[in-house]
Structure 1
Amino acid sequence: MIPTGLTSPVIARTAPADAARAVREPALICAVSQFLFEEAALLDEWRLDAWLSLFHPDAVYLVPTPEDLGGDPATTLHLVHDTVPTLAGRVERLKSKHAHAESPRSRTRRHIGNVRVWQRLDGLDVRSVFQVVRVRGGVVDRYAGVYEHTLVPRSGTEPDWLIMRRRAVLDHSIESAGGQLSVLL
């Protein structure tokens, strides 16, 4: 909850639904944090197929424009609005020789912190802050923002969750980070 008089456009627009309750159990917060760290490692290590396997078949991956953070992806412009099939196509293109913006591929390092978790009847809402550092051709680009994950239980296998919704909310324009977004945030 943001005290009266203090506002944050990202937090104010991304607060979990009223049906969610904040998780206070350190073991669950730690397990969710480890899930996010592993997801980041898969992306940094370019293990894109393993990363894609973390998604529920009905999942959505969103990157809204920083100018319109509260918009519905069905009616407002997003930098990325992928379902699992379109995300799988994006992964295949990134792995191919035809992805000129990523051939040779960028080196990235993701830093994740301030992990907060809310329990819902059907899963977890997770908010964390991120910084992605991208190095390619001697140029360093930085992307910073907030990750919003909705995780649903996966039965009987590790990890314990699947990503139902993943939203990367940038704190700045793409132009301020080199003008292109060719990596998965």
Structure 2
Amino acid sequence: MLHTETELSRLVFEHRLTRFLYDEARLLDEWRLKEWLDLFTSDAVYLVPTTDHPQPMPTRDLTLIHDDRKRLAYRVGLLLGERAWAESPVSRTRRMLSNIRVEREHGGVCRVDSNFCVHRFRHGDVQTFIGRYEHELATVEGQLRIRRRTAILDHETLTPHGMVSIIL
């Protein structure tokens, strides 16, 4: 039983954040990458650390992916174009999110952590990527937007080819 209006508003806010993450996952699974890109702020960062260094300083440490908004738009363009041989034809993916937690809220930006499992189906093969998302979400003109998105893989190594050609 809710005791205060504050508790109710917190639950509504957490539901809104959870729904946002589910909607983001659906856009990626449906390969609606341009719509997914629209979820990002103009100063956004998308980061995938190496499997042996999950908390890098991207300006100093090696990462699998470290894209600013401009580079992310370029990546989406490549994946939707004909030159991305690793994704032609595109993979089918299915994402599962769990343990969604609002970690903190400060100055209009909130941090949301969640666990993920992404199954990638391609050429009769299945690859599974397991890890944790860290999202920094900001409200821009009344809409939630991604300011920073980090996909931290739990894998010791990337198999079989040592690469990630999908957006995690």
Q: TM-score, normalised by structure 1?
A: 0.82
Give the secondary structure class of the aligned counterpart of 2:127. Answer: strand
Partner residue in 1 for 2:99 = 114
Which amino acid is the alignment partner of residue 149 of structure 1? H
Question: Which secondary structure state, in structure 2, belongs to the residue aligned with residue 76 of structure 1?
Answer: coil
2:144 equivalent in structure 1: 161
The one-letter amino acid paired with 2:40 is F
Per the alignment, residue 43 of structure 1 pairs with 28
The amino acid that maps onto 1:74 is T
Task: Find runs of 4+ consecutive structure 1 residues off by over 2 angstroms.
Answer: 173-180
**Cα shift at 1:119:** 1.3
Give the drift of 1:177: 5.8
Structure 1 or 2: more strand by fraction = 2
| Shift of residue 80, structure 1, vs aligned partner | 0.2
CA deviation after TM superposition for structure 1 residue 179, in Å: 2.9
Conserved 8 A contact 1:174-1:180: no
Q: Deviations over 1:48-86 (max 9, x none)?
A: 000000000000000001101122010000000000110
Q: Which residue of 1 aligns with 2:5?
A: none
Q: Secondary structure at the match of 2:17?
A: helix
Code of the residue aligned with 2:124 in structure 1: it is G
Deviation at 1:123, TM superposition (A): 1.2
State the identity as a percent. 44
Alignment gaps of 5+ in structure 2? 1-8
For 1:25, give the aligned amino acid: R
**SS at 2:64 equivalent:** strand
Aligned length, in residue pairs: 159
Which residue pairs with 2:66 in the alignment? 81
Equivalent of residue 68 in structure 1, options 53, 60, 72 = 53
Residue 158 of structure 2 aligns with an amino acid whose one-letter code is: E
Instruction: Report the residue type matching 1:146 in the other structure.
Output: R
- Once the two structures are TM-superposed, the CA of residue 178 in structure 1 deviates from its matched residue by 5.1
Take 2:109 and 2:153, find their aligned partners in 1: how far apart are those partners?
24
TM-score, normalised by the number of residues in structure 2: 0.90
For the aligned residues, what is the CA RMSD?
1.4
How far is 1:29 from its partner?
1.2
- Secondary structure at the residue paired with 1:68? coil
Q: Which residue of 2 aligns with 1:143?
A: 129
